[in-house]
Amino acid sequence: MVLDTPALLGLVIYAIVISWLSWLLFRMLFPPHASPATLHVRDYGEDRRKIPYVAPCAIPEHIVCKEKYILNSRGMLLHTCEWWPQHVGDKPRALVVQCCGFADSNTFLPMTRSIRLAQQGFAVVGMDPEGHGRSDGLHAYVPSFAALVEDYWQWFTRDIRSNSAYAGLPTFLLGESMGGNVVVQLLLRDGLEQTNYFQGAIMLAPMLEVSPRMKPPKALVTFLRHLAPFLPTLPVTPTKDLLSKAFRRAEVLAMAQKAPYGYRLKPRLGTALQVRQMEASRRW
């Protein structure tokens, strides 16, 4: 069979497009700074708990750090931390409930903030949500943002409020990035149910919506939105480097890149879909 010139040119273009798409998919799955041979060790909570842990800073002698695991309503182990300022006696100035950002963990960069707060006399508690840090779940996968918020609410009302050490302390929420959105949801629920648990909140760059500059073209968004229900854990959502956008100081960025539970891939489709639904249904 002899191919005419247009048909041959079409085959060449087809081969180039397929090759480019294959290369693009590989780069999405395995960025240059993430080795395919080592990525799998962080996939699930039980795997991440086996990774040797190196604290980002030394814990002062007058600060007591306690860690424990709790069970959520879905039978998943969630890792929690507590920082208690011994130098103020039995009565800290207030309680700070910290909600970490997407793909972050309370045992790394947020830990440095917790220690600084404890040094100022505040008691600090934090929980790694599903898929984050040493908690159970596929790494950086958020199958349901509503379930994630419910986990925070249940942890606070069941484990923190019932702890006599925190009785009577003014309580403030502190959330960064995705954790900032969690803070908003907790405040809304606190108001709707009139529980009055929280006296205030601090939000650091809260992820209330995604900047249009960070989003892929609309046609690609539409395609991925329809693909997400079938392949929700596929880490191929096109985004710019989130770490470089999150940290301006070179030394902090270098520390974040060394995080033992850091996520090195693109956001998973199911997680991106949750973010999109969160934007569409926001109540503020």
Tokens of 64: 């007591």
User: In the chain, how many domains are there?
Assistant: 2
177 and 42 in one domain? yes
Domain shared by 41 and 132, yes or no: yes
CB 201 within 8 A of CB 219: no
Beta-strand pair 171-176/95-99: parallel
Q: Do 192 and 164 lie in a common domain?
A: yes
What pTM value is reported for the model?
Answer: 0.84
Do 185 and 159 sit in the same domain of this protein? yes
Measured distance CA(35)–CA(56) in Å, rounded: 23
d(Cα 239, Cα 162) in Å, to the nearest integer? 41
Report the alpha-carbon distance of residue 29 to residue 276 in Å, rounded: 21
Same domain, 234 and 155: yes
- Give the pairing type, strands 77-85 and 123-127: antiparallel
The first and second tokens of residue 200, run together, are 């205030």
Cβ contacts of 87 within 8 Å, gap of 6 or more? 62, 121
Over the chain (284 residues), the average pLDDT of each successive run of 10 is 64 68 56 45 81 83 94 97 86 96 90 94 97 95 96 97 94 96 96 94 91 83 90 89 77 82 89 88 63
- Asked whether residue 90 falls in the same domain as residue 46, the answer is yes
* Statement to judge: residues 25 and 84 lie in one domain: no
Q: What integer pLDDT is reported at residue 58 of this predicted model?
A: 85
Q: Are residues 10 and 109 in the same domain?
A: no
> Alpha carbon of 222 to those of 140, 255, 276, 280: distances in Å?
22, 35, 11, 14
pLDDT of residue 26: 59
At residue 247, the pLDDT reads: 78
For helices 269-280 and 218-227, give the axis angle rounded to 10 degrees: 110
Q: What CATH number has the domain bearing residue 57?
A: 3.40.50.1820
- 68 and 12, same structural domain? no
Quick one: 10 and 140 in the same domain?
A: no
Measure Cα distances from 209 to 178, 204, 213 in Å: 10, 14, 12
Residues 18 and 105 in one domain: no
Give residue 37's pLDDT: 38
- Domain of residue 22 covers 1-30
Q: Could you tell me if 18 and 116 lie in one domain?
A: no
**Number of other residues whose CB lies within 10 A of the CB of residue 40:** 10
